[in-house]
Structure 1
Amino acid sequence: MKTKRMNPFKPTAGGEPPLLIGRNRVIRDFEKGLDNGVGAPGRIMLITGARGTGKTVMLTVLGDKARERGWEVLEETASSGLCERLVSELRTKEGLMDKLTIRPSVSFAGASVSLGEAELSPKRMPETLRKAMAARLDILEKRSSGLLISIDEAQAASMEDMIAIATAIQHQIRERRNIAIIFAGLPQMVSDLYNDEVITFLRRARLNVLSDVSLDEVRNAFSQTFADSQMTISDSQISVAADVTKGYPYMIQLVGYYIWDAADIRDSWVVTDEDVKNGIDEAHYDLDNAVCIPELQGLSKTDREYLEAMSQSDGPSATAEVARRMGKSAQYAATYRKRLLDAYVIRETERGEVDFAVPFLREYLRKKS
C-alpha cells in the first residue's frame, strides 16, 4: 500500500492553491508596494473579477506576504458594522479599553446615555476610525512594522462605511504612515467607488482584474502539481483536464482535486482515463452546487428567462436577439439586462452584446431546460 499523501489541490473558498496560476503580477505589485515604502502604488489595491476567479485567495496570499515582512494584518468581510469591527480590533490590539464592548453610561435628565454611541455614529465614524488607526500605527512604527487592512466582498459595504475607511486611510497616507489597504469585490465595486466624490483618491489605486487563465498555463500547472505530488498523469490526460476548466480558476482546482482523488481512492500513483472522467464529473457536480445554483438564487422568473434565452447562444448574445427569444420588446428586456449586469451575473462584451460572467452557467441552464 502506498503512503497516503495530502491532495495538493485546494478548491475550498479562500483556500490557497499550490500554484497561483496567472497571478504572479498581482503578487509582485503588492510586494513592491510594501518594499518601496510610503506612497508606492501597490499599497492601495482594488482586486475585482467574477465569482470564482480567486479574489479571496489573493487576499489570503497578500496577507501572508505582509506578515512575512512583519506587518500586522486586519482581515474583514464587508457587512453591517464593518467600521465598528475595525475600530474594535484596532483598539483591542492596542490594549486600550474597547469602547465598543465597554460603554460607560451617564445619567442626563433622567435618561441613560451610552458614551460610545455618539462616537460610533456615522457622522463621527471617519474621525473615530482615523484616531484608532493612528494610535495603532504609533505602536507598530516603533517596531518598524506596518498595518495592512484587507476587505473582502467590498461591493456589500455601505457607502457610509467605505467613506469612513477611505477618509481614515487618506489621512494616514497624507501623514506618511506605514499603511496599506486592499479591497476585493465584484466589478460593480469599482464603479461605485469611482463615482463617489468623497473617495476619489481611490481612483489612483492599483486595479487588478482577475480573469480566466490561459489553457497553456493550466496545462503547465497541472503537469507540475501532479509531478510534485509524485502522481503520474499523461500529457493527453492533462490536455483533457485543462480544456474542461476553460481557464476558470475555481474549476481548475475542482478538476485537479477530483482527478487526483480518484487515483488516490484506488491507492494508485498512476492516473487512468477513468480517473479523469470521474474527476471531471465530480468537478461539474460541485461547480453546479457551489457556483451555478447560488448564482441563480434570488433572481426573478423573468431574470431566469433572460438567462435561458442567452444560453441558446454558444457565445455572446445580441441583446436584440435575447429579447426576440423571450418574446418581449427590446425596452422590456433591457430592464432585466440591467438588473443582471448590476448583479454581475452577466457582462457586456461589446456594445449590444452580453455574455455570462461565470462561463459554466450557460451549460447548467442548458442541462436544466
Structure 2
Amino acid sequence: MKAKNTLFIAVASLLLILEAFPIKAEALSPANLSSNDNSLPRRDAVDIASYQSWMTQADFNSLKASGVKSIVVKISEGNYYINPYAKSQIDMAKSAGLNIAVYHYARFDYSNNPTQEGNYFASATKALGLPVSTVMIEDAEQDGYNGNWTIASQQFAQALRNNGFKKPRYYTSQSWLASGIMDASILGASNIWVAQYLYGKPSASRLQNAAYGAWQYSSQMYFQGTANLQRHPLDVSIDYQNFFGRLQPVIPAQERAVYRLYNPDNHDHLYTSNKTEAQQLADSGWDYEGIAWKTAKSNGQPVYRLYSPSAAYHFYTASKVEKDALEGRGWRAEGFGFYVDGSSPVYRSYEPGTGQHLFTKDAYEHGKLLRRAWRDEGLAWRAD
C-alpha cells in the first residue's frame, strides 16, 4: 500500500530549526527497521501484493516465527486487475499457519463506481475459495476522485455485505482522516486501519493511533529470518482490536465430543456432535469455544434441538413436553442434537434481555452468569 501521512512544516520554523540544530537528511524519512529490535511496536500484520512475488514458503514460515499473525493480500484493483500471485501467496500463508485478510485498491470514478468495485472484489475473493468471514478491506488512498470518499466507502462496504461478506473494513492515511476525507465518526474508528509512517523510529512505549482498529507504522521493516526478507522491506502493522480477524480454528476430531460454538453477530450458542457442522460454522465466522461435554456411550438420554426463526437462535431440552410446547409456538424442531449420560450436571442459564440460554458443565461459568443477572433454570441434564 502506498498511503503515507504528510508532514507539513512551516518554512520559517524549519529554517530556525536548521540554523539551531543541523540535521541529517535521512531523519526526514521513515527509518529502516529490523524485526530484531524489541523496542518497536508489535509486528502483528504484514500486507503484500504482486510486488512481493519473490516470497517463498520459507519466508512466510519465517514471518510466522517472528510473531506475525496475519497476512493481508491484495486481491484486486478498480474493476480491471486481479493480483496473479494472490492464490499462491494465500496458500503459502495458510501453510505457515497465518491468518488471511484481503484488500482491494479502490479507484472510484464516474465509469467505475464503488458498488461495481465492491462486486468485483467480492467475486475475485470468492473465486479464491475464501470464506465469507474473511476481513475485506478497501484501500482508500487514490487521489483524483471527485465524489465523497466516506459515502463511496459505505457503498463499497454494502456491496461486500450484499455478496455475503460480513467484515468490510477500511485502510487510509492519517492525513485523510484528519482532513475528513474519510470520516471515522461515520465509518467507525474500530473499522479503520490507519497508515502513518513516523519520521525516525516508532516505539512500543509511545504507540500512536490506538483509537483505530490497526496502525500501519512502517513500510521499511526488514525481517531477519531469511536472506529474502533481509533484502526486501515489508509494510508492517500493529493490530489493536483484532482488526484482521483470527486464524480459523481446526476443530479437533474427538470421540463423543459435543462442540460448543458462538455466533458473535447475534450471540447464539450452538452445541453439536457433528464435527463437519462445527467446522463449517467456524469457517463462516462463528467462534469455536471448545468441547462442552461428551455424548452418551450408548442408549443415552436424547436432547432435542430447536430453532426460533424469528429470534434466530437455538435451544436445547431433554424434555419432550417442553419441546412440543415450543413447536406449538413456532419453533422449528431440528431433531435430536445429541444423546447424553453421565454424572456431571449441565447447568441451564437464561438471559431475560435477549431470551437466550447457555448450557455449561462449568459451575464457575454458571455462577458468573448468575452474578450478571442471568436466571438460574436448574439442571438441564447430566453428561460426562
* TM-score bracket for this pair, using the shorter chain length: under 0.3
| Richer in strand (by share) | 2
Q: Which has the higher contact order (CA 8 A, sep 6+)?
A: 1
Q: More helix per residue: 1 or 2?
A: 1
- Quick check: which has more Rg, 1 or 2? 2
TM-score of the pair, normalised by structure 2: 0.25
